Chain A
Amino acid sequence: MTVTIPIGGMHCAACSARVEKAIGKLNGVLSASVNIATEKATVAFDPAVIRLSAIKDTIVGVGFVPLDAAKETAGADKIRREREIKSLRAKFVTATVFGLPLLYIAMSPMIPWVTLPLPKALSMMRFPLTYGLVQLILTIPIVAVGYKFYTVGFKNLLMRSPNMDSLIAVGTSAAVLYSVYNLFRVAVWHDFKAAESFYFETAGVIIALILLGKTLEAISKGRTGEAIKKLMGLAPKTAVVVDNGEEREIPVDDVMPGDVVVVRPGAKIPVDGTVTEGQSSVDESMLTGESLPVDKKPGDAVYGATINANGLLRFRAEKVGADTALAHIIKLVEDAQGSKAPIAKLADIVSGYFVPIVCLIALVTAVAWFAAISAGIAAPTPGKSALEFSLTVFISVLVIACPCALGLATPTAIMVGTGKGAENGILIKGGEALETAHKIQTIVFDKTGTITEGKPEVTDIISVSGVDKEHLLMMTASAERGSEHPLGRAIVLGAQSRGHSLLSADKFTAITGMGIEAVVNNTAVLAGNRKLMDDRRVSLAELEPDSDKLMSEGKTPMYVAFDGKAAGIVAVADVLKKSSKNAIERLHKMGIEVAMITGDNKKTAAAIAKQVGIDRVLAEVLPQDKSAEVKKLQEGGRKVAMVGDGINDAPALAQADVGIAIGSGTDVAMESADIVLMRSDLSDVPTAINLSKRTISNIKQNLFWAFGYNVLGIPIAAGALHLFGGPLLNPVFAAAAMSLSSVSVLTNALRLKRFKS
């Protein structure tokens, strides 16, 4: 059983790592993945071994709040986020309003090149107690609005699992406590030089800057999830149903399967169902990305959230609530956004160990500096004692090293990337698929329904002497009536369109990958490919020249035998999709080899491949052998994607490194593939790969900056520049840099929103 648990109170990658570790350790938990960007845990567990309540208790045990998934609807999530942003903004404003005068008072005596007017009553050396007290009083409200850093940070520290809040709590507490101690020195011991060592503004400004970073982060996080909100917002709130012959408007949640729903022109279709009355065009672009409206008539399926264009439709509701196509899409996108790409693993591992290591680095560095200065080996910055210098280093290292950027680097890019895909009708089912897609070297396309429209038509009828062409067609179509194969259906439709009345067939048998056999009007009809004819020892000598010609034209010859003797050929051809050639060109430009897999004969397949520019043809492949062909390619060391249209391609889609289901949007396709293309447009394949490349590149940039920032920031904060005669990093600048790093990672991730298909 897999559940998604929204979690409140997580602030950084260290928090998510801790929750993930705690849940993952539980007996009965098969896997646990916690996403800091979505603030959700996805847990697979065995309900026979462990209860969900025990998992939630564990989350509480490590200091976080499991939220009620049922209440975490789009609206509730939005309200929660808005409330969080509002609260953070209010805290930031409070911190700024008190922080700015605090900074002004503290820094005006420190800036040698600018004269900042300051009341005499706040002169550092003449009125040091007032100078310190005013700073303390201005610091108190800032610390108060940042109380969560302390409650959460120290709690986590006591639990031996420090997080980002612990770093801030320890860093700013050290600054405040040392300042209060110096204030005491001024007030009681009249040691006025201690007034030079107030660090109230350091604590105040650090908290204000971190609150600013958190506010911007919350706003940006909200924007990364906009795609899912847009999807959720598509569903109408009410539906008009026919109840005892009268139309009644009811909330959409009250619509039950079987209800007859009325949709007026211009209105949104509330749930999924089948049209029972009326004709209209329906705009399905919100689900499929397809811009042209789709005609609907009785018997056609309609989907919730699509828009009825011009006619009145009545339909029977079939799928409601969580079963609708829209709900499936939302779930799929949500799952994808909550999933982790393999590239995130390194960041997760690093984040998990990062904070304790940073605490250690801060402590060791501060002690080392103190010892070195006390021993006269090193010199502090002018005017600072060994203790003050060490304290500055200690605070700076703690503050600069918050791993927020590291934790946000991957999930935010995945959220934006998958969201952007969904906006373009490309549903990427997880971070792993997103990451693998950019490595694809070979793409295998199924032919029918993928490269072609999947609507083959009868093009030629060739008969042997003595057999009437129309009779051949009628008999073949009658035999094919029971077939579900697209070619069989094409022949049936072809016969019907020519006005033939079909006869009933007995003893119908479908021979997988070869054709059918049946008895029509006491004649044993065999229809299928060459393999079938060879298998049944039917001589095709008379038909060879015609079949060769048909195949060279990309047509599929369906050989027909009556009572064991060749009777003729019914040739069927499928129309190439308009987008196929262009899509394959784009893939070639991306350096990807394109292959086509089909059950068709080699000549027909080669002819079609030539028309669209495909490099490699895998012809005469039985449906059950498609996955083996994909495997062969993989064994050649290539990363392979398979593009198919659903059910019969499912094993190959599963075998491929990335399975891409195209066009159907059916449950089977959505479940078997890693990427689902809502439109039947092949150009979405290169777009999906391109999106994957852009997203992975964005993640790499984010990780580079996040790692690079820490790799550079920590030594600078630890006084590396000072060792070589350079300056020592002020903790205030450390806080600013830390906040900016998170914001820069988020901003970079948001650049993906500009992605164009």
Chain B
Amino acid sequence: MKKALLLTVIAVLTVMTLFILSRSLEGFDVVGKDSARAFDELIQKVPQLVYEDKETDSWSIIAPDGGARFSWRWEHTVADNDVALEIDAAPFMAAGLDASKLPKAIALRGGKLTLGSKIVPHGSAGRTKSTPLSAYECIVNLNKNAIGYHAALDHYGISIGDGFLFEWAKSIDTNDKDMVFVLNPEPFVNAGVAPDKINGWTFAKVTVDDENGRPVQVDKILKPFNLN
């Protein structure tokens, strides 16, 4: 019995040690590391679509059709959102959007729908070297769980919260969806949007991993781009 107890303690300690090590050792975060490489590949592929917004201390990448923008901050000492999506409201309006019915997290400003998320704990870091990649790496380092690997599409993605994502291909050369703006259809459907009638967007079922890593099929509104 004593032996069993001792072995249990050893097993638990082993697992805990590995958790701690994995969290502290960068080398273990292969997804984080490789997502940065792929993100850099994306930025290098479309430098004309990437720009710095000094007002918000952030970088942005615009969809090739201009219909959406993903931005990520390099300054995290303030309370503002660290990542954000901005999308043209017009196609949604045309598909039946009643903006008054949108949740508070999604705002309609100047013909744009915006939403964002504070994914890095407030005040947890100061300014970082101001390049698009270093800003991204800073976010990954401060909140490893903010990013993920989407096995079904071979994409990396950064969560903007509540099912909204910005995704990019792990390998631009081989993937036919190199940059994807992913929206959760639920708030829009609740606000009167017919999700299959949004011009420039695709309504589809997508296999994603749930919070326990299990593959589940969910509805998404997508704007994918092949950059090759």
Would you call B4 and A187 a contact (CB within 8 A)?
A: no
Which of B16-24, B85-93, B116-124, B127-135 is near enough to bind chain A?
Answer: B16-24
B151 touches A193 (CB 8 A): yes
* Residues of chain B lying within 8 A (CB to CB) of residue A187: 30
Do the beta carbons of A127 and B214 come within 8 Å of each other?
Answer: no
Q: Are A128 and B31 in contact (CB under 8 A)?
A: yes
Name the residue on B nearest A195 (C-beta). Answer: B151
Q: Say yes or no for B168: interface residue by CB 8 A criterion.
A: no
A94 part of interface (Cβ distance < 8 Å): yes
A101-B18 contact, Cβ under 8 Å, with A93-B3, A192-B30, A192-B31:
no
Q: By the criterion CB–CB under 8 Å, are B213 and A123 in contact?
A: yes
B29 at the interface (CB under 8 A from A): yes
A130 touches B28 (CB 8 A): yes
Of the stretches A112-120, A458-466, A590-598, the one at the interface is: A112-120
Interface of A is mostly: helix
Q: A350 an interface residue at 8 Å Cβ cutoff?
A: no
Interface presence of A186 (CB below 8 A) = yes
Q: Which A residues are in CB contact (< 8 Å) with B30? A: 128-129, 186-187, 190, 192
C-alpha spacing A548/B4, complex, angstroms: 83
The answer to whether B11 and A101 have CB atoms under 8 Å apart is: yes
CB of B18 within 8 A of CB of A134, answer: yes
Contacts of A126 in B (CB 8 A): 31, 144-145, 147-149, 213
Interface residues of B in 176-228 (CB under 8 A from A): 209, 212-215
For B213, give its contact among A101, A125, A134, A193 (CB under 8 Å).
A125
* Chain A residue contacts of B28, Cβ below 8 A: 127, 129-130, 133
In the bound complex, what is the Cα–Cα distance between A293 and B209 (angstroms)?
Answer: 79
Q: B94 on the interface (CB 8 Å rule)?
A: no
CB distance from B70 to the nearest CB of A (A): 20
Contact mask for chain B residues 148-160; partner A; CB cutoff 8 A; 1 contact, 0 none: 1111001000000
Tell me which of B10, B18, B29, B212 contacts A109 (CB under 8 A).
B212
Closest to A95 in B: B7
Q: Say whether, besides A97-B7, A133-B28, A134-B18, A115 and B212 are in contact (CB < 8 Å).
A: yes
Number of A-B contacts (CB under 8 A): 99
How distant is the Cα of A23 from the Cα of B214 in the complex, in angstroms? 56
A118 partner residues in chain B, CB cutoff 8 A: 212-213
Known contacts A93-B3, A109-B213, A127-B28, A134 near B151 by CB under 8 Å = no
Q: Is A122 an interface residue (CB 8 A)?
A: yes
Instruction: Choose among B7, B150, B212 the residue that contacts A93 (Cβ–Cβ < 8 A).
Output: B7
CA distance A362 to B215 in the complex (A): 31
Min distance, Cβ A135 to any Cβ of chain B, angstroms: 10
In the complex, chain B residues whose CB is within 8 Å of the CB of A196? 151
B34 proximal to A (CB < 8 A): yes
Which of A90, A133, A190 interacts with B18 by CB under 8 Å?
A: A133
A164: shortest Cβ distance to chain B, in Å? 26
Max chain A Cβ within 10 angstroms of own Cβ: one of B11, B15, B19, B212:
B212
B212 close to A127 (CB less than 8 A): no
Q: Is A98 an interface residue (CB 8 A)?
A: yes
Closest Cβ–Cβ distance, residue B2 to chain A (whole Å): 11
B14 at the interface (CB under 8 A from A): yes
Q: CA A102 – CA B128 in complex, angstroms? A: 39
**B15→A101 contact, CB < 8 A:** yes
Bound complex: CA A9 to CA B7 (Å): 27
What A residues does B150 contact at CB under 8 A? 125
Q: Which residues of B contact A125 (CB under 8 A)?
A: 31, 148-151, 209, 213
Alpha-carbon separation in the docked complex, A122 to B212 (Å)? 9
Decide yes or no: A130 and B11 within 8 Å by CB, A124-B213, A192-B30 being known contacts.
no
Contacts of B18 in A (CB 8 A): 130, 133-134, 137
| In contact, A120 and B145 (Cβ under 8 angstroms) | yes
Contact of B214 among A109, A129, A137 (CB under 8 A): A109
Please name all residues of chain A whose beta carbon is closer than 8 Å to the beta carbon of B44 when the two chains form the complex.
none
On whether the beta carbons of A138 and B15 are closer than 8 Å, the reply is yes
CB of B8 within 8 Å of the partner chain:
yes
Query: Can you pick out 7 interface pairs between chain A and chain B where the beta carbons lie within 8 Å of each other?
Result: A93-B4, A93-B7, A97-B11, A109-B209, A130-B19, A192-B30, A196-B151
